[in-house]
Amino acid sequence: MTPPTATRTPAVVRDAWLRRYRPLDAAVVRLVCFPHAGGSASSYLGLATALAPAGVEVLAVQYPGRQDRRSEPCATSVEELVEGLLPELRQWTGEPFALFGHSLGATLAYETARRLADLGERPVHLFLSGRRSPTVPRRDTAHLLDDRGLIDLIARLQGTEPALLRDEEMLRMVLPAIRGDYRVADAYVHRPGPALGVPVTVLTGDRDPNVSVDDALRWSQVVDGPFGVCVLPGGHFFLTERAEDVRAIVEGALDRAH
């Protein structure tokens, strides 16, 4: 993949939904990244930095209800998030783009790809990380937990710094977004439709308590294109534990897409 020869230096925030931490004027491909439940665009700062030398610009999605969008109400459904993002995202889809989502973000990346396909636009690759296939029967009620139960759940997934979970003031700030995102994830119902005809890579941790390898493999039931599953050492947040492996997988797949 040939690196770009020019860069821009605009403000990080371009609009409400997308963050450009490492803007590339001549990006070979742009990778739109969807955070996990309770996560924010800044969770992809490391990946943006790691992929920039290869000419891949990361556009990180910022959901309402957190960080600089904290004053906005959280979304109530996957559909609301997808439709809210689309107008700004489609400003970038005239050039090669790919989608990457982790956990709840994987569901959003998948549904965004489906919505774009309805509009005649397709990513060059779709990365689905840390999420079971929507064909796996599920009954999730995490959003109904009380605050202590929700904090304990987050702690078990090991994706949050322990110090943060002991900071009462910080918890009061972030718990509404976490609970709102779990409400969105728990309410999601897969809508049957045509298989998604794009290349797909599924990433999963071999010790993820929420996603078995079989759950990950079953993504093949809803896509119709080149398909692969990468099983990495780690739990639900192998994404941070194995950041270099994830970067290599993404960069390799995007390199083959051109």
Tell me the per-residue pLDDT of 129-166, one tens digit each, with 9 for 90 and over: 999 999 998 777 665 567 777 777 776 665 555 555 55
Give 238's DSSP letter. H
* DSSP class per residue in 158-175: T-S-HHHHT-HHHHHHHH
Q: Does the predicted TM-score (pTM) go above 0.85?
A: yes
> Among 51, 48, 1, which Cα is nearest to 20's?
48
Lowest mean pLDDT segment, chosen from 93-107, 110-124, 130-144, 145-159? 145-159
Q: How confident is the model at residue 6 (pLDDT cuts 50, 70, 90)?
A: very low
Helix (H) or strand (E) holding 65: none
- Asked if the model's pLDDT at residue 168 lies above 80, the reply is no
Domain that holds residue 194: 18-138+189-256
What CATH number does the domain containing 236 carry?
3.40.50.1820
Residue 210 lies in a domain: yes
Residue 29 lies in a domain: yes
Determine the Cα–Cα distance for residues 39 and 27; give it in Å rounded to an integer. Answer: 25
Residue 205 lies in a domain: yes
Q: Look at residue 10 in the predicted model and tell me its pLDDT.
A: 34
Q: Look at residue 7 in the predicted model and tell me its pLDDT.
A: 37
Residue 61 lies in a domain: yes
Q: Look at residue 237 in the predicted model and tell me its pLDDT.
A: 83
Residue 55 lies in a domain: yes
User: Which residues are known catalytic residues?
Assistant: 103, 236
| 41 compared with 5, residue with greater pLDDT | 41
The alpha carbon dihedral of 245, 246, 247, 249 has a sign of positive
- Asked if the model's pLDDT at residue 32 lies above 90, the reply is yes
Cα three-residue angle 216-211-230, rounded to 5 degrees: 45
Tokens 């990433």, residue? 203
Residue 163 lies in a domain: no
Determine the Cα–Cα distance for residues 32 and 61; give it in Å rounded to an integer. Answer: 7
- Asked if the model's pLDDT at residue 206 lies above 70, the reply is yes
Residue 162 lies in a domain: no
State the total domains in the chain: 1
C-alpha pair distances (Å), 45 with each of 8, 21, 140:
17, 6, 29
> Among 209, 105, 100, which Cα is nearest to 153's?
209
Residue 9 lies in a domain: no
Q: Look at residue 2 in the predicted model and tell me its pLDDT.
A: 44
